[in-house]
Structure 1
């Protein structure tokens, strides 16, 4: 069946290994929620469960690019494997940023499927920190009870009723008018109206898109500082690791005691740089999430360019180049940390002493990997912005973005 944008749609994001371990229980849960919703409302709620299905990708893009103008629920099934999955975290951050932009955070309805270490709002893993602040449903015990039993059926009924209540709240709210692919945001906003988006109170206190864009240089500078801090600590980490590896290779293969002595010393030397990597990785992701409102405002202005002066357009082009540079830098950093994580896991198998330091490196580096997904979304939005041709600029206005300062 083909669903229009007017129909509610849900996306269940989960680690496939969890579903396989429970013999398809997560997929059956999605079906049960869907059917219970139909019983309660008489309406259809399609829940997509297979991201490898082309229809998932098409519908996901349709909903995200449409700025969630119609009701779209995101149901992440939280588990250790969920947070270990790059794809799960990418979907989580993409949906989180979009709902935050529009002030519709209720569209994110998480299920804590199993116990998750460090699932607290103060976690240095930003995906965990954000998930901990959501109104997630605790399913740790329910995943072990009989699916046909009254307790499980009641829990499914409660979820479906919550979705019904959310749908009713959405239907009572006036639709917001926003250009496709544009979701201007206010990081602190919890209201139903996003800043920069027309609403019933044009004289409210929400910052305008131009005010948000004005914050762009300061916020990108903070990102640059965080990136530099991470790179410096990572270089020290790599140098210590390489020196230790060379020393290990120089020891006799049969002298295990000598090798352990080397590994213990290396572990102690890695204490400082890995702690700095954790701090810098946390700061890196926080600054990216802080940039997000300004960037979305930038995209909004770009799509409304008929009301923007040529000077503003040139300034926007400069910011556009800045974001592309961030994306490229993030791609390079992501490749490096993935390689280092794999090497670290191999070393962790050799020595317990090394594991705490290597775990810290992976925790800090995970934020770099997750940040790339956020920046890639910006790059995708930039591809949709239409800028005027060079000959549209009046004489005297430079078409070189590097010659123009951002407002």
Structure 2
């Protein structure tokens, strides 16, 4: 496999494929065949994410600065969005593609209806991975999935999808690294490596502080939930029955209103800041690994990369704790109609932090692979 050979990474859940009688895997094979008929060139696909071959090829393409011949094709279903592995793949690939100005290489297939993607679930909290998908020209396969695979409608749709892949390869612009412009930069001035490093170095402590604030608010929510559990136990002891439980639940919903609003805003802010800067940071790390840079720039990069590693270490621990808390309230979210929207909002905010960790972890992984001549940096 070379960097000029067309390659497609098929991102899906194996459970979805089994539930649909293997049709997802067969669809990939049909697209590969149609692509070769149309172009005369083979399209290599990687399907089994559990294999070493899939992982090696994935990292090789990312680290070689993915070209206009590398696609990620996520098969979007409700179960897909529940898979943290699938979410990580979209976030990671989108960041690398955006860092080169090649957003169109993420080609989602809307396979089973996801209400958030078609704005049918406005009452649900926003999902940032759904938003990433919605910004692309996703392919609607929801009705086609029910067609016979040999039907004219299905075969035509497969042909059109393969044709679209071929057209993207033919018309995609050259990969151009995305720069980060320092906030106070004069428009006419081009930022240098050192200026960009300084801007990022200044931003890192703020992200660290945001995670700490998030953990503190979640802790206060946990304390309120514990209070409610204690009150319900006391009410049951007094024979308060369901009326007593409802009284405590209603009071808990009132007490949670403010912290839930804060955690929602904080989660959105944290994700938005990291996602916005992700393509530029990837570009910076790649530039430091590929180009001869000055001694001054090298020292700035070394300091910045050390702080990225420290940030990753701290946020990894906090994120794991948040994931545990999110799992713990999953069942409670079904117990009360009034509490359900609040707990969904909390879980969505935590998910933003978990997904943000994917971005930080990818920076950390890339930094690990860079040799700036200082073993202590690793």
Structures share a fold, TM > 0.5? yes
Structure 2 residue aligned with 1:264: 250
Q: What's the counterpart of residue 231 of structure 1?
A: 215
**SS of equivalent to 2:265:** helix
2:338 is matched with which residue? 353
RMSD (Å) for aligned C-alpha atoms: 2.7
Partner of 2:184: none
Q: Is the partner of 1:6 in helix, strand or coil? A: coil
Does residue 178 of structure 2 align to residue 185 of structure 1? yes
CA distance in 1, matches of 2:193, 2:153: 48
Q: CA deviation at 1:304?
A: 5.4
CA offsets, 1:120-150, max 9 Å, x none?
A: 7997322111111111111111112222111
Q: Once structures 1 and 2 are overlaid, which stretch shifts more, 133-142 or 225-234?
A: 225-234
SS at match of 1:119: helix
> Runs of 4+ in structure 1 displaced over 6 angstroms?
120-123
Change over 3 Å in CA distance of 1:36–1:220 after alignment to 2: same
The structure-2 alpha-carbon separation of the partners of 1:83 and 1:174, relative to structure 1 and needing over 3 Å to count, comes to closer
Q: In the TM superposition, what whole-angstrom CA distance separates every residue of 1:247-289 from its partner, at most 9, and x where no partner exists?
A: 2333437733322322232123222212221211111111112
Residue of structure 2 aligned with 1:107, choices 105, 108, 113? 105
What is the CA–CA distance in structure 2 between the aligned matches of 1:24 and 1:306, rounded to whole Å? 49
1:245 pairs, out of 229, 235, 238, with 229
Q: Please report how far the alpha carbon of residue 332 of structure 1 lies from its aligned counterpart in structure 2 after TM superposition.
A: 1.6
Gaps of 5+ in 2: 182-187
With over 3 angstroms needed to count, the CA separation of the structure-2 counterparts of 1:70 and 1:17, relative to structure 1, is same
Cα pair 1:7 1:70 within 8 Å, conserved: no
Which residue number corresponds to residue 341 of structure 1?
Answer: 326
Distance 1:14 1:270, change over 3 A: same
Residue 29 of structure 2: SS of its match in structure 1? helix
Which residue of the partner structure matches residue 168 of structure 2? 166
Deviation at 1:48, TM superposition (A): 1.5
Match for residue 18 of structure 2?
20
Measure, in 2, the Cα distance between the counterparts of 1:175 and 1:222: 31
Gaps of 5+ in 1: 177-183, 189-203, 391-398, 401-407
The structure richer in helix per residue is: 2
Kept in 1: contact 2:214–2:267 (CA 8 A): yes
1:3-402 equivalences in 2 (<5 Å):
3-69=1-67, 71-119=69-117, 124-170=126-172, 184-186=177-179, 208-252=192-236, 255-303=241-289, 306-309=292-295, 311-389=296-374
Whether the 8 Å contact between 1:73 and 1:109 is mirrored in structure 2 is yes
Return the offset for 1:344: 0.7
CA positional deviation for 1:298: 3.7
Which string of whole-angstrom CA distances, capped at 9 and with x for unpartnered residues, describes residues 39-66 of structure 1? Answer: 1122110222221122111111111111
**Structure 2 CA distance, aligned partners of 1:174 and 1:360?**
40
Does the 8 Å contact 2:99/2:280 carry over to 1?
A: no
Once the 2 structures are TM-superposed, how far is the Cα of residue 174 of structure 1 from its aligned partner?
5.9
Match of 1:181? none
Task: Quote how far apart the aligned CAs of 1:34 are.
Answer: 0.7
Aligned length: 365
Q: 1:383, CA displacement in angstroms?
A: 0.8
State the 1:291 CA deviation.
3.1
Q: TM-score, normalised by structure 1?
A: 0.82
- TM-score when normalising by structure 2: 0.88
Per-residue deviation, 1:228: 4.0
Residues 174 and 227 of structure 1: CA distance in aligned 2, closer, same or farther (over 3 Å): closer
Structure-2 separation of matches of 1:145 and 1:312: 57
Superposed displacement of residue 389, structure 1: 4.3
Q: 1:11, CA displacement in angstroms?
A: 0.7
- The alpha-carbon distance between structure 1 residues 306 and 138, as it changes in their structure 2 partners (threshold 3 A), is closer
Q: Secondary structure, in 3 states, of the residue corresponding to 1:11?
A: strand
